[in-house]
Amino acid sequence: MPHQREPARTTDLPSISVVTPSFNQARWLERTLRSILDQGYPRLELVVVDGGSTDGSVEIIRSFESRLAWWASEPDRGQYDAINKGFAHTSGDIMAWLNSDDLYTPWSLHVVGELFARFPDVDWLTSLFQLVWDDHDRAVACTRVPGFSRQGFMRGENLGAGARRRGRWIQQESTFWRRSLWQRAGGRLDTSVTLAADFELWARYFAHADLVGVETPLAGFRAHGDQRSAVQREAYAREAEAALVRHGGRPGGPVDAVWRASLLPRLPTRVRRTLEGLHLAAPRPVCRWEGPETGWTLRWA
């Protein structure tokens, strides 16, 4: 049976802290900040941590200063160090970071706030519809992910696509979590992981809670070719796999990834439940909008 709650009132919505790290990203920075601030979420705490940019980024940040909880522009030890610094200046119930060239969808914060208010047992969530933006803020690609499970994650299901994999990443831009989960998992990003610290954080989160997939787009990655994740894709994948193994994962091969990410979700429910009983599959929690009378429900797909 689906779990249901009454729609959350504005006064019941949790506070949301978003950190935006940036370094010489003036080309996109204003659009990113507007995608956060212009949603009008009533309990938003936005922090911007700039690495000492020289391209006009500081002037852009100053133009938003009255709407920011805190900001700084100074040298740091990289993106993940900047994010840790930013989170240290936040206090919101819900946490996320959005890189300075990416975008939220216009409804994302309200949806996220309502879901966390409605389902107190949900500790972290992400979108099942992963968007890609182009340089003109157009959504040029959307990939549907069937859902997430700890079992699948530990088998390498979320190590992405490539020569050896056929899975899907957990999209960092669309992922939000409770501060209590962040604290239980160590309260910081591991800066020794230079490229895939987000993936390493997900490994720690899965030790404490299931990841809930949400059936609406929440954010998107901007594809412009200059990102570290694009330029160093294979190095990122190697770091992610090393982090998974370090946390007890046992990645399967490409056939296993295809089975878990593509074929298994298409099986009839009765067959999947049988496989779950044999520990050959795991249920995936999904939040779905059922219409104005029912609202959001939480099911195990």
Q: Is the alpha carbon torsion for 21, 24, 28, 33 positive or negative?
A: positive
Query: Tell me: the pLDDT tens digits for 138-161?
Result: 999 999 998 999 988 998 889 875
Q: 243 with 142, same domain?
A: yes
Place of tokens 């994740």: 229
Q: 115 with 95, same domain?
A: no
CB distance 124 to 196 below 8 Å: no
Report whether pLDDT(219) > 50: yes
Distance CA 29, CA 22 (A): 8
Query: Tell me: the pLDDT tens digits for 262-298?
Result: 666 676 766 655 655 544 557 889 999 999 999 999 9
Whether 209 is covered by a domain: the verdict is yes
Q: 299: pLDDT confidence band, cut at 50, 70 and 90?
A: very high
Q: Which comes out higher in pLDDT, residue 165 or 78?
A: 78
Q: What are phi and psi of 85, to 5 degrees?
A: -60, -45
Report whether pLDDT(211) > 80: yes
Q: What is the CA radius of gyration of the chain?
A: 19
Distance CA 156, CA 254 (A): 9
Query: Tell me: the pLDDT tens digits for 55-86?
Result: 999 999 999 999 999 999 999 999 999 999 99
Whether 243 is covered by a domain: the verdict is yes
Whether 1 is covered by a domain: the verdict is no
Q: 144 with 80, same domain?
A: no
Q: 273 with 134, same domain?
A: yes
Number of compact structural domains in the chain: 2
The pair of three-digit structure tokens given for residue 179, joined into one six-digit string: 């501060």
Average pLDDT, the chain: 89
Q: 74 with 129, same domain?
A: no
Q: 286 with 226, same domain?
A: yes
In percent, how much of the chain has pLDDT > 70?
82
Average the pLDDT over 17-39 and give the result.
Answer: 97
Q: 142 with 281, same domain?
A: yes
Residue-range definition of the domain harbouring residue 30: 14-101
Q: 90: pLDDT confidence band, cut at 50, 70 and 90?
A: very high
Neighbouring CB atoms inside 10 A of 114's CB total: 20
CATH of the domain at 289: 3.90.550
